[in-house]
A and B are shown apart, each in its own frame.
Chain A
Amino acid sequence: MKVLVAIKRVVDYNVKVRVKADNSGVDLANVKMSMNPFCEIAVEEAVRLKEKGVATEIVVVAIGPSTAQEQLRTALALGADRAILVESAEDLTSLAVAKLLKAVVDKEQPQLVILGKQAIDSDNNQTGQMLAALSGYGQGTFASKVEISGDTVAVTREVDGGAQTVSLKLPAIVTTDLRLNEPRYASLPNIMKAKKKPLEVLTPEALGVSTASTNTTVKVEAPAARSAGIKVKSVAELVEKLKNEAKVL
């Protein structure tokens, strides 16, 4: 079974981002970039499926600037077989990305597509669901467990009150939650080997996909700062402040 994994290059999750002075966006110049943490989990799940003999080939795809090749190489070093970059310098919306992924799905015909549940930059949590809609496939979002048997996949999902399990006909779309697995690190020999694995570069035009958007970002601001708090010396002082100053008790 062929598995397609979509990954995104994002600002590293440890970086505290700064809003640009002209409010046009977030300052990403000279900031450390990495693979989105949820995408790492998606790659790991695909590699585990291959190790179990369920998956035969893992194709990893990224949509973004040419520098996203770094993250594709990381995925190859983790165990993906080959990579596709759909190169676009623009900041694309989730719908545009889903349309591009749909074109890649049509081309590659995977049985399973794994994505992260959300990217930590835009925090949209849309692309997997949109890809599922466009392809007409079932969706197992926020997955904490994925089990394939025959032509179905059972996905245990993290929902507000606990966990829910659904069964989907393959091909299907799965988006990963944090507890699906613990991603591995790439070893140095595997990083070297990954440099020789195939990486195909495509463009939205070549895939015949329009990336036009109905949304415009008007401005980006820093959130309102909280006023500085105080340190109390004792539990008694804390209770007194909460009762008489903050009046929340």
Chain B
Amino acid sequence: MTILVIAEHDNKVVAPATLNTVAAAAKIGGDIHVLVAGQNVDAVAEAAAKIAGVAKVRVADNGAYAHQLPENVAPLVAELGAGYSHILAAATSNGKNILPRVAAALDVDQISEIISVESADTFKRPIYAGNAIATVQSNASVKVITVRATGFDPVAAEGGSAAVEAVAAAHDAGTSSFVGEELAKSDRPELTAAKIVVSGGRGMQNGDNFKHLYALADKLGAAVGASRAAVDAGFVPNDMQVGQTGKIVAPQLYIAVGISGAIQHLAGMKDSKVIVAINKDEEAPIFQVADYGLVADLFEAVPALQQAL
């Protein structure tokens, strides 16, 4: 068995989710190869070669792969991946965008967002917004799988010494082109990788009030998230959304402030080690999953909490 892991990167650095994906591959067992597809990705390939447990890094350096357009990357992965037992990618927006296209090209069903490896062909994944866990078995010749990063502890980013090999295959479908991107700037830790997450909901009342959460987060070295209500109300940008349709997080500590705790929000954070809820409504469903609940006005409790730390 040889497993192909698609590296998640921005042409400069390897994203942390790649380390969790390699960890899932290690649980399956067998040799692990990492594919780095992009443009001017020498630094990414070098970093990928150092990841613990990786046997080989295959590099497809081509302008057609610069922005990870699925029309171009998926045929590459399908062509290379046909000889592997498993193809794994992180369940990030790139992984979710590209991998089903690979699976269809290989004429196999895909398994999305696995949270555990039971055996080489059997995996667990959440369904119904995390309200049920399905055990799925695949008899496909190539098993195509996306990995929920929070389900696996990352492997070490250093310590490996894999061989790096260039891949000649170039695919340019010509059906799509990159126009531009607007990335939100933040100095705080990345939401999905943070050890502590402080999230605000509709109870924050406006975007300006998020400054209380930012101040608390900076004291804790935490990332700041939000519920869909806060995003839809325009308080914060949508890449901060935690939930079924946003980001899935599982930090050591999740502090939910002014969040009622709808099913869709819980789907994104209920695997956090410790959950704290601060809400003035003591009937709010968030208290049913919170390890520590504080019924209080957040505009008093959050500054007080910041003071007390």
The answer to whether A249 and B128 have CB atoms under 8 Å apart is no
With A133-B101, A167-B177 given, is the CB distance from A215 to B136 under 8 Å? Answer: yes
Question: With the chains together, A138 CA to B172 CA distance in Å?
Answer: 12
Question: With the chains together, A164 CA to B93 CA distance in Å?
Answer: 11
Contacts of B239 in A (CB 8 A): 158-162
Q: Is A165 an interface residue (CB 8 A)?
A: yes
With A133-B100, A133-B101 given, is the CB distance from A123 to B293 under 8 Å? Answer: no
- Chain B contact residues: helix, strand, loop or mixed: mixed
Closest chain B residue to A182, Cβ basis? B232
The answer to whether A123 and B113 have CB atoms under 8 Å apart is yes
Chain A contacts to B: CB under 8 angstroms:
11, 13-14, 16-17, 19, 26, 93-95, 98, 117-118, 120-134, 136-139, 141-142, 144, 154, 157-169, 172, 177-179, 213-223, 226, 229-232, 234-236, 238-239, 241-242, 246, 248-249
Pick the most buried of A117, A137, A220, A241: most chain B CB atoms within 10 A of its CB: A220
Contacts of A126 in B (CB 8 A): 100, 103, 110, 112
Question: With the chains together, A59 CA to B83 CA distance in Å?
Answer: 40
Option from B100, B293, B294 in Cβ contact (under 8 Å) with A129: B100
Option from A161, A165, A172, A238 in Cβ contact (under 8 Å) with B184: A161
Chain B contacts to A: CB under 8 angstroms:
67, 69-71, 74, 92-94, 96-105, 107-113, 122, 126-140, 173-184, 192, 196, 220, 228, 231-232, 237-239, 244-245, 247, 252-253, 263-264, 270, 273-276, 282, 287, 289-296, 301, 304-305, 308-309
The answer to whether A17 and B131 have CB atoms under 8 Å apart is yes
Closest chain B residue to A23, Cβ basis? B135
The answer to whether B109 and A214 have CB atoms under 8 Å apart is yes
Option from A120, A130, A132, A248 in Cβ contact (under 8 Å) with B128: A120
The answer to whether A221 and B132 have CB atoms under 8 Å apart is yes
Closest chain B residue to A212, Cβ basis? B109
